[in-house]
Amino acid sequence: MFLNVSSFVALPRNHCNQAFISAEERNYVKRLLVTSSSETDDAIQINPLVANVKISKTVEVFSLVKEMEAAGDKVTSLCVGEPDFPPPQAVLDAIVRAVQDGKTRYTGVTGTVELRRAISADLEKRKGVFYPPENIVVGNGAKQCVYQGVLATCGPGDEVIIPAPYWPSYPEMVALAGATPVIVNTRKEDGYLLTAEALRGALTDKTRLLIFCNPSNPTGGVHSKERLDELSSVLQDFQKVVILADEIYERLVYEGTCEAVASLPEMYNRTMTVNGFSKSHAMTGMRLGYLAAPTKLSKACTTIQSQLTSCAGSISQAAGVAALTEVSEEEMIGNVDIMREKRDFVLSELNKMPNVSLECKPSGAFYVLPDVSAYYDGDDARLCIDLLKEKKLALVPGSSFGSPGTIRISYATSMEELEVAMNKLKEFLEAQITNE
């Protein structure tokens, strides 16, 4: 809302100086500041690219949960992908050291040399891909890095392939770049994995980018090495297409492995690898991610970041170095074991619920996307709203991920909270059957 200028000007002159007005008069002025005239609203023009962008449903539901909690409601929330365990102690200790050592200044735009070297070494050791430190851009979270990768490669007239179900921010980022998102639907019978046939059918001369999330948010699906090779084979016929490989969940795999797209034959020179520390090391509030790419692409992303945010936080970067160099592999594996136990519990509980189906067991990330289309005539949004109202259980409707008739469950919370949530969901669905 905007200032009603005419009303404000009509006030006595001393209303502009809070030292000479009463509290009541001061509140009146404050109310004017949030009052807008229709004339002012009509005069302001919003960029059409922004006007057409949707608010993230995950953020929207999470905000509603916080409002309900502020009003005194106790809400069970499985809507946000945030590990419930704290960052490793080595990371917390590094934060303290960074503050004590005065590492509170700007760093280079692409991040500290120490962190970029640590990322380079980690990718080479674990994933078999080598990116020189100068080809790594450290950003304020992986989300920023994804957006910069989109901006660096796409514009008006370009098409971007996004397999569905998808993270809701992908199509909106593409729209903000002025490009056209091309949604490629996958099948639940295939575990929502992208097939070579579906990919080939979507590629055109206008395709500039494939956004590929592996493991997947929201399905938890992991594309095998064999499936990746099939997709790579198709892409060989479309050499101008760049791949943005969002591998933020690659450390959370419960069966098999998650190969890096850049490690596939002839894919390195056209792949932007995005990763970060939020999911693997529970460093969500530290907002630290990175993009690793060939020189032409990494330089383009650096240029964009230099005009947007400059560097990531210096203290967060110090924490990132510790995450990669001081946290033991045993601790990381222990976290995976805990998440696997939670996944198995949720799957077991879903199997007990009437008319809920899950074709393939997710083998990565910390999400489950069950089909609940038997309820509410497939209106997953209405189901989630009623579930929140009646049971104080917050889930995100699958339609916001391009998968109508499903709901996304994040099991990145305590086992106690999961038990409460699964009981609430079961009771709610059983009540729908009774009321029919």
In a domain, 50, yes or no: no
State which residues form the domain around 340. Answer: 57-85+330-435
The verdict on 354 and 424 lying in the same domain is: yes
The verdict on 142 and 191 lying in the same domain is yes
Same domain, 297 and 384: no
Domain final residue, candidates 273, 308, 325: 325
Same domain as 138, residue 232: yes
Residue 373 lies in a domain: yes
* Whether 193 and 276 share a structural domain: yes
Residue 98 resides in a domain: no
Provide block-wise average pLDDT over 10 residues at a time, the chain (436 residues).
39 40 50 50 81 72 80 89 93 98 97 98 98 98 98 97 97 96 95 97 98 97 97 97 98 96 96 98 97 98 97 98 98 96 98 94 96 96 91 94 96 96 97 83
pLDDT value for 19:
41
Question: Is 336 found in the same domain as 313?
Answer: no
Amino acid 38: pLDDT: 53
Instruction: Identify whether 95 is part of a domain.
Output: no
CA 227 centroid distance within chain? 24
Are 318 and 336 in the same domain? no
Are 36 and 71 found together in one domain? no
How many domains is the chain built from? Answer: 3
Q: Are residues 380 and 302 in the same domain?
A: no
Same domain, 396 and 277: no
The CATH number for 122's domain is: 3.40.640.10
pLDDT for position 362:
95
Angle at 162 between CA 161 and CA 163, to 5 degrees: 120
180 in a structural domain: yes
Which of 310, 325, 340 delimits the end of a domain?
Answer: 325
Q: Does the residue 139 lie in any domain?
A: yes
Residue 43 pLDDT: 84
Q: For residue 51, tell me if it sits in a domain.
A: no
Q: Is 96 a domain residue?
A: no
* In a shared domain, residues 303 and 241: yes
Shared-domain flag, residues 167 and 261: yes
